[in-house]
Chain A
Amino acid sequence: AQSVTQPDIHITVSEGASLELRCNYSYGATPYLFWYVQSPGQGLQLLLKYFSGDTLVQGIKGFEAEFKRSQSSFNLRKPSVHWSDAAEYFCAVGDGNTDKLIFGTGTRLQVFP
């Protein structure tokens, strides 16, 4: 069965610092991979997705993610974090048969000025 692991529950960075959020997945075939962001009290907003092709994916708000099949990873990166990036970030994988998504438990990002 598919699964998603986000090893970091909570990350704190200084504004302007670089960011990398880790995501590992378990899936037999080429996965459909997603990163979502959730601000407090809000729904989820899609940052980016990977289906196939170029393994480096550009998303909104300056985020990017790299699919590495050999490591079963899809880490999210941003070169310079802004205070407004403070939120919860979820990695998800699509099961390939239906439109159902399997989510990781999330990483809470805190940004210090």
Chain B
Amino acid sequence: NAGVMQNPRHLVRRRGQEARLRCSPMKGHSHVYWYRQLPEEGLKFMVYLQKENIIDESGMPKERFSAEFPKEGPSILRIQQVVRGDSAAYFCASSPETANYGYTFGSGTRLTVV
């Protein structure tokens, strides 16, 4: 029973390029959450999605960032025109429908912008 799968584990992008981070939730989990961990900081909530719906995107930067969780396939966090300040670890978590915070976290994608 695979856990939450994130890929790639490490991603290097030049300033101005696009970054696409993928998250496949655990089998049977229909809720996905994305968190960002900046160096020397705790995790900060970005967005909460269910299949084909964004439930809460209050933590998403207003520009360049978007997220989706299609009916089929993984959830995607997309960062357009990356800047150095986007360098961080991005974690995805998933939970079943009645979660009550029953998250399972993935191992994260570490994005480095050069």
Contacts and interface: CB of A to CB of B under 8 A. Distances in A.
A57 to B, nearest CB: 14
A46 B42 contact: no
A67 interface: no
B52 interface: no
Interface residues of B, number: 24
Interface string A31-45: 010101000011111
Interface stretch (B62-70, B73-81, B102-110): B102-110
B107 A42 contact: yes
Interface string A68-105: 00000000000000000000001010100011111111
B43 A98 contact: no
Contacts of A6: 42
A37 to B, nearest CB: 11
Contact of A99 (B43, B44, B101): B101
A103 B95 CA distance: 18
Q: How large is the interface on A (under 10, 10 to 19, 20 to 34, 35 or more residues)?
A: 20 to 34
A6 B40 CA distance: 13
Contacts of A105: 40-42
Nearest to A103: B42
Interface string A16-48: 000000000000000010101000011111100
A32 B35 CA distance: 18
Contacts of A4: 42
Interface of B: 4, 31, 33, 35, 40-45, 48, 55-56, 59, 91, 95, 99-101, 103, 105-108
Interface of A: 4, 6, 32, 34, 36, 41-46, 49, 51, 90, 92, 94, 98-106
12 contacts: A34-B101, A44-B91, A49-B101, A90-B43, A99-B99, A100-B45, A101-B103, A103-B35, A103-B42, A103-B44, A104-B42, A105-B41
